Amino acid sequence: MIRMFKTLIGILLIPFAVGVARAFYSEISGLDGFVNSFAVIERGILVYLLFHVFVIRPVYLYVLGHELIHVLATWLCGGRIDSFRVTPSGGSVTTSKTNMFIELSPYFVPIYTLLLGPIFMFLRVSSFGFANLNSTFLFFLGITLAFHFVMTAEVLKMQQSDIAKSGVILSLVFIFVGNLVITMAVFCPFFGGISFLGFIKSGVSNSITLYTVIFNRIMELFQPIG
């Protein structure tokens, strides 16, 4: 019964996910120098994909970040860590409490992308002569995002217990929306012409419009013919 309820909630949230995706594309398209910026990000994505396919899959690095996010999410929720284990073949964290946020947070929080923000902000304001780092930041942004999405996709194929417990459809919607929100939060401090608040408002507005259209279509089905 609980699994069916979670599946139903997941299906009902699909229009919301579509609305957020539209808002994400709209905001990213409004970036200053979007074409040039995206070209640099694409180079970073390509470099990682080539590394992943022809050199090595950095499983240990992903597992370490995955389990660390579980730890941080548990602490944010007031929980306690009882055990922490990371190996090249996998990892595990035993916590005093769990919920959907704790279970799914590693899939929608690209930890290495988030770490780029403070590192490049420090270099930019430091006295080491790193004044113009935008292109370098974008390049590593592409690498870390590609790393997160590719490795997350591989893990999801293995039907992780975290996903099963939270419901497959609900989990995928949650992960999809979470990745868009976190990625937008990373973009905002570094680019003009992009607003995180505007993204949120647009996502909500798009979702309301979609739900209204769906509701009206359903109501039309129940109207008498003639």
Residue 42 lies in a domain: yes
Confidence at residue 31, expressed as pLDDT on a 0 to 100 scale? 61
Which of 83-92, 102-111, 211-220 has the weakest average pLDDT?
A: 83-92
Q: pTM here?
A: 0.73
Q: Mean pLDDT, to the nearest integer, of 12-23?
A: 92
User: Is a pLDDT exceeding 80 seen at residue 197?
Assistant: yes
Residue 219 lies in a domain: no
User: Is a pLDDT exceeding 80 seen at residue 14?
Assistant: yes
Cβ distance 39 to 134 under 8 Å? no
User: At 142, is the pLDDT very low, low, confident or very high (cuts 50, 70, 90)?
Assistant: confident
- Residue 90 belongs to what domain range? 2-211
Q: Mean pLDDT, to the nearest integer, of 199-211?
A: 93
Q: Report CA-CA distances (Å) from 39 to 44, 73, 112, 183.
A: 9, 33, 21, 17
Residue 123 lies in a domain: yes
Residue 155 lies in a domain: yes
Confidence at residue 226, expressed as pLDDT on a 0 to 100 scale? 53
User: At 33, is the pLDDT very low, low, confident or very high (cuts 50, 70, 90)?
Assistant: low
Count up the domains in the chain and report the number. 1
Confidence at residue 201, expressed as pLDDT on a 0 to 100 scale? 93
Residue 147 lies in a domain: yes
Q: Mean pLDDT, to the nearest integer, of 109-129?
A: 75
Residue 70 lies in a domain: yes
Mean pLDDT computed over every residue of the chain:
81
Residue 226 lies in a domain: no
Residue 98 lies in a domain: yes
Provide long-range contacts, Cβ within 8 A and 24+ apart, for 8-12.
9/167, 9/170, 10/167, 10/168, 10/169, 10/170, 10/171, 10/172, 10/173, 11/169
